[in-house]
Amino acid sequence: MDRPFVRTGALMELASYPHWLQDVVAACSDAKHAVVGHEIFQQMHAGVLPPAAMRKFLASSWPVIEQFPQYMAMNLLKVQYELGTAHAMARKYLIRNIRVEQNHVEYWIDWSHGHGMQRDDLLFGWRCSSADALSHWCWHTCERDPLAVAMAATNFAIEGATGEWAAFVCSSPVYERGFPEDVRKPAMKWLRVHAHYDDTHPWEALEIIAMLIGHRAQRREIAKIESAINKSYEYLRAAFDECLATQIHMPFGSRDAAAEKAVAAA
């Protein structure tokens, strides 16, 4: 590795990072836009997403939500504190965010309750096969790939896109007003925390990636990181496509009438 990367510009400005990493982010931008601008979030934002599709989205996304702390725990096993500042920063980042993500698991359950779903609907109910593919990919990269690659796939790509689509859904009051007042606050908490205070997490991950590899990445390192980011976006898009396209009854007692009321337009 060449001279260590030390960020001098603003954390959330792409120009602050090595040129090779700027190029990777640019090369993945179309795939990211397909996720952030997906039709499922357009409909959610407008308050017109069908209740069945909403419940499929919540159930299908559950494995990644529930396993995200585990992905970071696997990455934590790769950290070697004695290897310097990048590993020390990764260790601190991962330990801090494992606890944060565990809280987010509970918030997702509260969100699902707002749509008339029970805990068993998430744990044992139907979910689209593309969402299973996403969770398998996240587990695989965090178990097998180098730290920089795995963090690029999860903490940068998935957390970054999630923060942006959550902010978009929250940018209009329409979706929030669809919940009855007595469940509105807990039902919106997952979206609100991802739309606001999570926005620095993917940038912190990007800084760690830059520090781990340095200013001059090898061609195979660049290809591996770009591929990992694009795969995460592609799996996300495929899962969201399937949630919109497939009409399947949600088992384990989902209360259709309650869900219909919860997502009714204000």
CA nearest neighbour of 90 among 242, 210, 200: 210
Q: Which domains does the chain have, with CATH numbers?
A: 16-262 (1.20.910.10)
Amino acid residing at 117: M
- What's the pLDDT tens digit per position in 155-197? 999 999 999 999 999 999 999 999 999 999 999 999 999 887 5
3-state secondary structure (DSSP) of residue 12: coil
Q: Which of 8, 51, 13, 6 lies closest to 264 in space, CA to CA?
A: 51
| Phi, psi for residue 197 in degrees, rounded to 5 | -80, -5
Q: Would the CA dihedral through 78, 137, 250, 110 be positive or negative?
A: positive
For residues 157 and 138, the answer to whether their CB atoms sit within 8 Å is no
What is the residue type of 176? E
Express each pLDDT in 207-264 by its tens digit. Answer: 999 999 999 899 999 999 999 999 999 999 999 999 998 554 443 333 443 444 444 4
**Longest CA pairwise span in the chain (Å):** 61
Cβ neighbours around 196 below 10 Å, total? 12
Q: What predicted TM-score, i.e. pTM, was given to this entire model?
A: 0.89
Determine the average pLDDT of the residues in 107-133. Answer: 93
Write out pLDDT tens, residues 79-102. Answer: 998 888 999 999 999 999 998 888
